[in-house]
Structure 1
């Protein structure tokens, strides 16, 4: 495959690809901090605001991009997505910068959402495939780190430009355009994933756009992994998606009405997420038991939301939530999802699987987003508390009980263990649930994680 310019490899390539996550999170925060101003500018009701949120990079827009981008990424390569997705993204954010009507704004959010969905699924896939087996969590964690830095800087920018009103919100979108342009320039030197190139050159790997999707649902081993990851990520993301885009409204419902205070608390929250991603996930997830690291992060998230929803409104309540949810997000469901989703699928299915999973997660966020602002107004945060806590507890249980034992193993080794000697052609391989797989094999799907494994 032809390469343009100087080749970008190693950690530089990881960082360049991880910027998809900065752009995704930055888009969500740009929307979150501007929704109130757009609502006032265009005279929108809560339902129209919910539609903006649900069709954006936070929900349906990203879902559509993932559903399209995942199979394309498996069919034409990881680099193919990077050639075009940021161009679409830049068009979308420019439309937001100059939006003069609700229709223009809605179109902008949809375009950026599609670009984000395609880019993020490709980024997790590429980073995992290029990372050394003993440092895969560290490299995949870079995407999570970029995802947490995006909101931290986004909220800081929102505080700085707040006196400018809607113009300030437009400037936040403009900064995303500049970041996307710089990232696109750096990515020109990316080499194609070596694992994908070797699979693509194999005569057995010729397939159509739809065949990889069909393989996800006809193979028990693929379908079982998808069910597991939906439980881990989609349930958690249904809460995190509302927190990302409606958090200022959540704070207001909890009794904290100062906009500046809300934004500064979010800076603290995302600063804790960044620190926990590096110190907790990137440094530890290749060395300690992933099961218990995940369990600790998920349990802390449940505690943080219980505190915000049910404890009396006070500065301490706000600080406990910000620190608890921030640290939880750094070592919780999204970081582990990015890692496990890359490990549990064969190369020909990897990006398609992430596209389908991202689609499911963002569809759920979108459905909740349509009614969330209305319900928040009508029944309050305590009324929504049972749903929020129930979703988080579900994600905690699924990830803790069925954590896969893939640590320290190469992607090729994991693939052989899960699919058998016949590789991806062995579509009848069973989802063993930690029990011995057929023919004396042990599946890496849900075998208990007891700490570091040898690759």
Structure 2
């Protein structure tokens, strides 16, 4: 049936069953905890530096380790989920995250802090591709993009909560830092309990899962399926987009507060307040993205806002991180990011990657990208000290490259993908 409506959200768009929103929310906690962990390190970094007497290289090492561990966790977790059951890995990795967050919270020195970051980062990484695969498996074709993109709402919410706590607790030193990371442990434990009780439609029995795992043990989940053209092309393209976009997003996620304090001359309270003031814009617009995710407007708006995003980074670069320029940057960035950011990557990946290897393939793109982010994070404090302008212009070039990769994904891969072409072009028609 052809669509005749030109409205962004056609009135006949099939609703998503309520129980699937619960699946999306609990799966989205992977994104919440991933973002919250990275940003909590960012918010607390200046405090850790003073309390543990860190140098710039140690500060960079901590940020690099959390990102590197997320990379390794994504690679291993996605593969294990495809081999031994997504539901099993789905429940285990969130518990491991809670243990890591507890260690971070109680760390008496920087060595113990690094151990906690190691455990939490590995677990957070393992949960990312697994949770997205769980959502995709449970979602109907006409609602898959909405459910997958809802995990991005949780991602933004993780940033909002941590920045808010950082602002409120900005004058409390290590006590506030421990409260921020302690809330991650509580959230992870609560999610673990709720996931354990979650009932998915057509969920296989324990016996069936065990039989599937036993069958997969000798032959694996056909790794050759990852390297064929159907999987490799979208994997490479989505990786190219995510890694170039993520260098900018990850740098500001980890070092936004640090940059405002050390380069822009803001106080810790003002720096966290600036981040907090603009985040509600991103949160509201991410909900808008969810609303349009199964319509052609999802990718039409990408064209517009990827340009806005590049302009935002140009402003920051031209002003060399001056406070006024950073204020303009934050406004433009928070407006554009929901429509030209990680949400697009998540949706495009789930629509273009083959279903049987989604965990492995997206785990690979996450892992390789986060590995690059870790390397960038390691040198960022030193590069920021050497030349903030050089750092910002380098990031601007990366954001421009991500726009080119995104255009290719939309015009070539999404146009060819059966699910992607069906969902936006025939919104409102449920598959038989």
Question: What TM-score results when the alignment is normalised by the length of structure 2?
Answer: 0.87
Q: Is the 8 A contact 1:304 1:321 kept in 2?
A: yes
Give the alignment partner of residue 98 of structure 1, picking from 106, 114, 130.
106
Offset, 1:242: 0.9
1:444 maps to 417
Q: Is the 8 A contact 2:312 2:328 kept in 1?
A: yes
2:284 maps to 275
Check if 1:364 corresponds to 2:372.
yes
Cα-to-partner distance string for 1:385-406 (whole Å, 9 max, x where unaligned): 3311111011101111331678
2:5 maps to none
Check if 1:303 corresponds to 2:318.
no
Question: Matches of 2:192 and 2:116 in 1, distance apart?
Answer: 19
Question: Matches of 2:187 and 2:419 in 1, distance apart?
Answer: 39
2:150 maps to 142
Distance 1:202-1:85 versus aligned 2 partners, 3 A rule? closer
Check if 1:398 corresponds to 2:405.
yes
Check if 1:123 corresponds to 2:131.
yes
2:36 maps to 26
Q: Is the 8 A contact 1:405 1:449 kept in 2?
A: no
Distance 1:333-1:37 versus aligned 2 partners, 3 A rule? same
Offset, 1:237: 0.8
Distance 1:192-1:207 versus aligned 2 partners, 3 A rule? farther
1:426 maps to none
Match of 2:338, SS? helix
1:54 maps to 64
Cα-to-partner distance string for 1:370-389 (whole Å, 9 max, x where unaligned): 1111010012x211233111
Offset, 1:146: 0.5
Question: Matches of 2:87 and 2:164 in 1, distance apart?
Answer: 32
Give the alignment partner of residue 264 of structure 2, picking from 251, 255, 262.
255
Check if 1:165 corresponds to 2:138.
no
Check if 1:15 corresponds to 2:25.
yes
Give the alignment partner of residue 244 of structure 1, picking from 222, 241, 253.
253
Match of 1:36, SS? helix
Cα-to-partner distance string for 1:43-77 (whole Å, 9 max, x where unaligned): 11111111110111xx1110111111001111122
Check if 1:222 corresponds to 2:231.
yes
Distance 1:313-1:235 versus aligned 2 partners, 3 A rule? closer
Distance 1:448-1:131 versus aligned 2 partners, 3 A rule? closer
Please, what is the CA RMSD of the aligned residues? 2.8
The residue correspondences of 1:332-343 to structure 2 (distance < 5 A) are 332-343=340-351
1:43 maps to 53
1:388 maps to 395
Structure 1: gaps (5+ residues) = 1-7, 408-433, 435-442
Offset, 1:169: 0.2
Offset, 1:84: 1.0
Structure 2: gaps (5+ residues) = 1-17
Q: Is the 8 A contact 1:275 1:330 kept in 2?
A: no
Q: In the comparison of the two structures, how many residue pairs are matched?
A: 408
Question: Matches of 1:310 and 1:100 in 2, distance apart?
Answer: 41
Question: What TM-score results when the alignment is normalised by the length of structure 1?
Answer: 0.82
Distance 1:314-1:390 versus aligned 2 partners, 3 A rule? closer
1:5 maps to none
Distance 1:13-1:72 versus aligned 2 partners, 3 A rule? same
1:234 maps to 243
Question: Matches of 1:178 and 1:28 in 2, distance apart?
Answer: 17
Which consecutive aligned stretches of 4+ in structure 1 deviate over 3 angstroms post-superposition?
191-197, 199-203, 205-213, 311-319, 404-407, 445-451
Q: Is the 8 A contact 1:291 1:399 kept in 2?
A: no
Question: Matches of 1:326 and 1:163 in 2, distance apart?
Answer: 26
Question: Matches of 1:394 and 1:213 in 2, distance apart?
Answer: 33
Question: Matches of 2:222 and 2:381 in 1, distance apart?
Answer: 34
Match of 2:337, SS? helix
Match of 1:162, SS? coil
Q: Is the 8 A contact 2:314 2:393 kept in 1?
A: no
Question: Matches of 1:247 and 1:13 in 2, distance apart?
Answer: 32
The residue correspondences of 1:344-359 to structure 2 (distance < 5 A) are 344-359=352-367
Distance 1:313-1:116 versus aligned 2 partners, 3 A rule? closer
Question: Matches of 1:336 and 1:128 in 2, distance apart?
Answer: 15
Offset, 1:327: 2.2
Q: Is the 8 A contact 2:42 2:258 kept in 1?
A: no
Question: Matches of 1:73 and 1:193 in 2, distance apart?
Answer: 18
